[in-house]
A and B are shown apart, each in its own frame.
Chain A
Amino acid sequence: MSLRAPGLPRAGLGALIGVGLAYAITVVARALYGWDPVVDGEAVLQVALIGAPFGFLIGLGAFDYWFYWAAGRKTRPEDHSSHGAHSWKDYFRVNTDHKVIGIQYTVHSFFFLLVGGMFAMLVRAELAEPGMQFVNPNAYNGLFSVHASILIFLFIIPVFAGLANYVLPLMIGAPDMAFPRLNALSFWMLPMAGIMFLLSFLAPGGSFATGWTAYAPLSVDAPIGQVFFTIGVQFAGASSIATALNFLVTIITMRAPGMSFFRMPLLVWANFSTSLLVVIATPFIAASQFMVLLDRALGFSFFDAAKGGDVLMYQHVFWFYSHPAVYIMMLPGFGIISEILAVKARKPIFGYRMMAFSLLAIVVLGFTVWAHHMFVSGMQEWIRVPMMITTAVIAVPTGIKIFSWLATLWRGVLHLDTPMLFALGFLTMFTLGGISGVSLALIPFDIHVSDTYYIVAHIHYVLFGGSLFTIFAGVYYWFPKMTGRMFDERLGKWHFWTTFIGFNLTFGPMHLIGIQGMPRRVADYSQQFATWNLFISCASFVVGLSTLLFVYNMVVSWRAGARAPANPWRAMTLEWQVSSPPPIFNFDTIPTVVGGPYEYGVPGAVHGVFKGAEVKTTAAPAGAAPAGD
């Protein structure tokens, strides 16, 4: 345990130095302005929230290589000592291997799924009966705010980055990501955000309690806990921007010979599209939160109407990120589902090119719909109708994807194992979420139900029945590749059915109580909603418990599951053509891609060949010629 070598002890020291520096900066700045230099607690805290995480990252060694390079010291470019994991301890170090980072991301994200899920259980426990039982209104507002923030910024968005981090370089035949050190830094910025969100409960005045949307001016006047969100989001956002750039460069420059864009698996297409969204949209949430921070800390008045600020500007800037963010949370899942359906139905993806183009269409349209969150915000009336049309039209490319998946299933040979069950569950639940999404685009109906439980139901059908089901499907699907072990199929099916049924019983009735008039984000509600809320709370505990089945299955199977063969699903994409888990630099020989990724049912077709193997070119490129039905 040396404090000079990079690692967790030095990281702890770095964080302390960060706090000390924050204190010093505040005292010096106050003295220079002629104010009483003795501590103002809030000022120190705000600076420390920025300083301490950087101290932690530097101590951990995330910047060592770049510092060495900047200082002109020897950088050891050929030393791959930080590549690959030999024991579980290596997962707590800065590691540049995309497979290790992928697992770090995924496990870290699932930890936060459990934390966020636990907050959800507390929220539902409080709502089981009218009146206040377990928590006071301030704690309640904090619970649902942290619940949503954690699950969005520390689970759904990063877990997709984690899964893609693991499989994407393998899928395109690359030895690693384009920028391995940036990749490691991207991961290590995430725990900063998570720790901040959780520590906010210790702040005077309680956790941030303004919802995950943190609307100004409430967030400007809120107690200091709000700053934990304002700054934490910056770390989560910086992490996803860096990852997205890494994906874009990797996909554009590091594909194996022969892998044209239209021979890429749809997961790669999906992450390509998502990365475009992230790079363009994420700076907007950074901007919105920086404006809140400047209003709070330095007395700016972006959002202070009394001083000429514009309250609605917050929502425009915020939703210009946060609507595309819904697609950031959907598109990678679309990719996962395409992989699984083709393999498990033993058929090529129907309409491959349309599937790729519809992803790009969603990327473009995703930026044209932000103000549909603002139909009752008091914005200019004329914006509403164009937003209604673009919002409704985005259902068309989404519909194309759903119908293409259905056509992929048709006449296949369906292997109904756990990944496939979650994929089919996703298809049905996401369709419901899409339909309620169209109903919300229709302004008069939206006016009645916005800010009610109908919205809560819709967003959970999209992000739970949509994103989370694709995440479960993907984790089960690639579990053998990542761990070299098979999971317990029986437990997996139990997990699916308890989640599927519990989920529908929880969120289905919310549509009804929403239309009937129950507002969202309320700690207490009127007596007329009591029966349904008790029912919903009971059902939600079933979902909560079902997650424990999943955790048990993953942990036990990882330790003692049956050994997985290289290609248990007989898939064609490249990641399945190497051992499980793959060798440290992925491929012993560079693969050459000779056909489409989903040529199931084509005799003798292969997607890629390795040097020495015989090249067969009978496979038609995917989507080249409609074979008819």
Chain B
Amino acid sequence: MRGRPVLVMVIAGVVASAIGIALGLTIHWFPTEASTQLGDIKTLYDVIIIVSVPVFVLVMTVVIGAVVRFRMRPGQEDQDGPPIHGNTKLEVLWTAVPAALILGLCAYSYVVLRDAERAPAATAPKEINIAVKGQQFAWTFTYPKDVAGGKALSTTELVLPEGRSVKFDINSEDVLHDFWVPEFGMKIDAVPGITTHYRITPNRLGTYPVVCAELCGLGHSVMRSTVHVVTEPQFKKWLGGQNKPAAPQGASPAQLAAAGKQIFTGASGCSGCHTLSDAGATGQIGPNLDQVLKGQSDAMLHQDIVDPNAAIAKGYGPNIMPQNFGQTLSESDLNALVAYLKEATQ
């Protein structure tokens, strides 16, 4: 690169940019796309890559080019470079071009944002409105009466029909949380005292994790749940089955305990925080149930679940366990859970 350093660098820069962009667009950056909103964000990210790779390559090319061509060679120890102080044309150029690029990106982002937050058209299937409540350390989802068939339905797992816009109204019982399904792309904080919102349109069947993205204390990393995206008929069927008890009336103790085990390891999220060897649970946020529940009566076990502050295990503070299991679990579910805990710890 003796003769035409700038030409060599331009060629190297163009080639490196092309490779960089190709690589950037090939890498599987995002989780599975399960909402139209995440699709738009992915396109925006592709544009970001196309704009920013050449900027980075430009800086790298000049640094490497200068190091290769202008490094001090033996005998140059006392030499200086030419006393160049500036060049107005260049300085205007490198102020104006980045400014234009950046304003362009902002304009495009604004369009993406507006699309992501727009309410569905009147012709589209009716939007579902779900209330999301965050608390240390669990999510509760409430389906409105008109969707759930006359009676509001609260669950600890989220089930959504594919292709219908969903609007989440989010609030918090205690501290800040952040309601996020990575596969949906959108997120917002759950803030005590106000209700926040976002909407997504699920567009892919499957089961995805719900996480809390805002540090909310001891159990932040286990504040997880699950969202199932199902077809419209499956959604209707699930809604219909929700108000039925987990274990039928008059079930045998063994049946009851089996149903309780399912509740423990599944939707209610007990296993995220507690250790219970019978259920294979190894959570360390709350007390070890193998030890603390030994010898407790049914009534005490029931109280431990619905009013956890009444008796706190040694070494643990109050308000760590959610206090609304009495509302989110039906009476028959509670009975099943108590039966199971009794069987598993005694």
Contact = CB atoms under 8 A, between A and B. Distances in A.
Interface of A: 131-132, 136-138, 141, 205, 209-211, 215, 217-218, 221-223, 305-306, 309-312, 345-348, 350-354, 376-378, 384-385, 388-389, 392-393, 395-396, 399-400, 402-404, 406-407, 409-416, 424, 427-428, 431-432, 435, 438-439, 441-445, 447-448, 450-452, 512, 515-517, 519-526, 570, 599-602, 620, 622-629
Nearest to A310: B193
A402 B63 CA distance: 11
B73 to A, nearest CB: 9
Given A521-B215, A627-B82, 18 more contacts: A205-B317, A209-B217, A215-B176, A305-B192, A350-B87, A354-B91, A376-B213, A399-B94, A404-B91, A427-B59, A435-B55, A442-B106, A443-B110, A444-B113, A517-B31, A519-B212, A601-B81, A626-B85
Query: Closest 4 interchain pairs by CB?
Result: A305-B193, A517-B182, A522-B221, A412-B81
Contacts of B30: 515-516
B7 interface: no
Nearest to A314: B176
Contacts of A399: 94-95, 98
9 contacts: A210-B217, A311-B191, A443-B113, A445-B41, A445-B45, A447-B41, A447-B187, A452-B213, A620-B85
A517 B211 contact: yes
Nearest to B195: A378
B84 A350 contact: yes
Contacts of B11: none
B339 to A, nearest CB: 30
A352 B71 CA distance: 23
B192 to A, nearest CB: 4
A452 B182 CA distance: 10
Contacts of A416: 67, 71-72
Nearest to A435: B52
A490 B301 CA distance: 67
B175 A221 contact: yes
A376 B70 contact: no
B85 A627 contact: yes
Contacts of A412: 66, 70, 81
Given A403-B94, A601-B83, A444 B189 contact: no
B86 A354 contact: yes
Contact of A414 (B27, B66, B110): B66
Contacts of B211: 517, 519
B116 A600 contact: no
A624 B31 CA distance: 54
Instruction: Determine the main DSSP class of B at the interface with A.
Output: mixed
Interface residues of B, number: 84
B182 A516 contact: yes
Contacts of B55: 431, 435
B72 A396 contact: no
A101 B41 CA distance: 50
A625 B85 CA distance: 7
A416 B209 CA distance: 50
Contacts of B222: 524
B56 A396 contact: no
Nearest to B112: A444
A559 to B, nearest CB: 28
A131 B281 CA distance: 12
Contacts of B71: 414, 416
B285 interface: yes
A514 B166 CA distance: 25
B110 to A, nearest CB: 6
Nearest to A516: B31
Interface centre among B67, B90, B95, B109 (most CB of A within 10 A): B109
A589 to B, nearest CB: 27
B48 A445 contact: yes
B86 A410 contact: no
B86 A352 contact: yes
A138 B284 CA distance: 10
A372 B202 CA distance: 27
B88 interface: yes
A627 B85 CA distance: 6
A347 B80 contact: yes
B235 interface: no
Given A409-B70, A448-B41, A448-B186, A624 B59 contact: no
A411 B82 contact: yes
Given A348-B84, A438-B52, A377 B189 contact: yes
A525 B88 contact: no
B86 A626 contact: yes
Contacts of A525: 221
Contacts of A415: 72
B218 interface: yes
A629 B82 CA distance: 9
Contact of A137 (B38, B78, B221): B221
B8 interface: no
Contacts of B94: 399-400, 403
Given A141-B218, A218-B217, A439-B48, A450 B187 contact: yes
A346 B41 contact: no
A400 to B, nearest CB: 6
B14 interface: no
A453 to B, nearest CB: 11
A312 B194 contact: yes
B215 A431 contact: no
A623 B86 contact: yes
Contact of A377 (B78, B191, B212): B191
A431 B85 contact: no
A451 B214 contact: yes
A211 B189 contact: no
A403 B217 CA distance: 44
B102 A392 contact: yes
B44 interface: yes
B221 A523 contact: yes
B285 to A, nearest CB: 6
B234 to A, nearest CB: 25
A217 B192 contact: yes
Contacts of A444: 40-41, 44, 109, 112-113, 116
Nearest to A412: B81
A438 B105 contact: yes
